[in-house]
Homo-oligomer: A and B are copies of this chain.
Amino acid sequence: MDIQTVLLGFLIRSCMTGYDLRKAFSMSFSFFSGLSYGSIYPSLKKMESRGLVTKQVVIQDGAPNRKVYTITEAGRKAFLDSLRAPFVPEQPKRAFLMRLFFFAHLSPEERKAIALAQLESVVLLRKELESLRPEIEALADSFQYLCFQIGLRYYDNMASDLSMVLDAMRDEKVNLS
């Protein structure tokens, strides 16, 4: 998912500390990925050593010094290059598919319970994302708004997959392997 590119994308807008980047990320990217300090700080170090960003230490009394990162011309170029890089095909990679693959090992009741729990959790995730709408409509550009819409559709599609699974189980002849 290339964390460095995302960080550079945020740093183009404004100079930021690792902490700021984490916040910015959670607010706008949260629905398609997490990002932890264990990834951010090492990435910033690497990017600094590669000349993609520069660091300004702002001394504060008491609190730990802020390390403000600024993107360089090389960083801007690296960012655009990776936006343009050839696409690497992606796979679904969803844990639920793994479970479903082995569903024959569970009883019909367990299968139904698991699929229903999953459906509930997807509905919840969709609701959470939907609740960000006002914020996104205020701040996002048109492409970022498309990301939001695709995120919603993603959950809708998962819900519809789960309904399909539940339908298939409704009139199942038990099929233990």
Total chain A interface residues with beta-carbon distance under 8 A = 65
Chain B residues near A9 (CB-CB < 8 A)? 101-102, 105
C-alpha spacing A79/B102, complex, angstroms: 10
Is residue A64 within 8 Å, beta carbon to beta carbon, of the partner chain?
no
Across the interface, do B84 and A31 meet the contact criterion of CB distance under 8 Å? no
The answer to whether B100 and A95 have CB atoms under 8 Å apart is no
> Quick check: B95 and A90 within 8 Å, CB to CB?
yes
Chain A positions 1 through 35: 1 when the CB is less than 8 Å from some CB of chain B, otherwise 0: 11001100100110000000000000011011110
Q: With CB as the reference atom, state the residue of chain B lying closest to A3.
A: B98
- A73-86 interface bits toward B, Cβ cutoff 8 Å, 1 = contact, 0 = none: 00000011001101
Instruction: Tell me, in angstroms, the Cα distance from A89 to B141 when the chains sit together.
Output: 27
Could you tell me which residues of chain A, from 103 to 120, have a CB within 8 Å of some CB in chain B?
103-106, 110, 114, 117-118
Per assembly, the copies of the chain total 2
| Residue of B31, B84, B88, B97 touching A95 (CB-CB under 8 A) | B88
A123 → chain B, closest Cβ, in Å? 11
Give the nearest-CB partner of A158 in chain B: B90
Chain B residues with Cβ under 8 A from A101's Cβ?
A: 9, 28-29, 143-144, 147
State the 4 A-B residue pairs at the shortest beta-carbon distance, nearest first.
A103-B143, A32-B92, A9-B102, A92-B154
Contacts of A141 in B (CB 8 A): 104, 175, 177
A34 shortest CB reach to chain B, Å: 7
Cβ of A127 under 8 Å from chain B? no
By the criterion CB–CB under 8 Å, are A161 and B168 in contact? no
Contacts of A132 in B (CB 8 A): none
